[in-house]
């Protein structure tokens, strides 16, 4: 029940906001594009977004909250899954990389985002 209430509250907020209401229709493509850019930065060696990465990350989370307002649970699951994949790749690179260390933070993020992905996906099936 709580997740639906959060989505409805965000929908009301973004639809009543004069600045963010027109941007809400771009929530899905911008969220997925930013998520893909973050994953590509980890996968492709030498591909670095530099300071632009911070803007991509902020745009991802801003438009992700707008995506929550659309109540499209399958796309919410995909966006959360992109974030989980990002941290999974980060964990694998830390384990097999040059310094071979275990990143507890990335593991926790994989668990949290993976669990949220699962919940959003199950919600999309039931709807």
The 10s digit of each residue's pLDDT in 59-96 is 999 999 999 988 889 999 999 999 999 999 989 988 88
Domains identified in the chain, total number: 1
The arithmetic mean of pLDDT across residues 90-107, rounded, is 87
**CA-closest candidate to residue 3, choices 76, 110, 84, 87:** 76
The arithmetic mean of pLDDT across residues 6-31, rounded, is 89
The arithmetic mean of pLDDT across residues 102-111, rounded, is 90
pLDDT of residue 103: 84
* C-alpha to C-alpha distance for 101 and 95, rounded to whole angstroms: 5
CB 24 within 8 A of CB 69: yes
pLDDT of residue 1: 59
Domain encompassing residue 21: 2-126
The arithmetic mean of pLDDT across residues 112-116, rounded, is 93
pLDDT of residue 5: 86
């Amino acid at each position: 029940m709580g997740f639906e209430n959060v989505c409805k509250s965000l929908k009301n907020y973004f639809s009543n906001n004069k600045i963010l209401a027109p941007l809400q229709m771009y929530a899905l493509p911008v969220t997925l594009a930013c998520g893909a850019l973050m994953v590509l930065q980890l996968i492709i060696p030498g591909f670095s977004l530099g300071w632009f990465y911070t803007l991509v990350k902020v745009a991802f989370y801003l438009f992700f909250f707008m995506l929550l307002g659309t109540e499209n649970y399958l796309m919410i699951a995909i966006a959360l899954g992109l974030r989980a994949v990002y941290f999974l790749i980060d964990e694998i690179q830390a384990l097999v990389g040059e310094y071979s260390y275990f990143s507890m933070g990335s593991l926790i993020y994989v668990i949290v985002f993976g669990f949220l992905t699962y919940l959003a996906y199950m919600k999309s099936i039931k709807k």
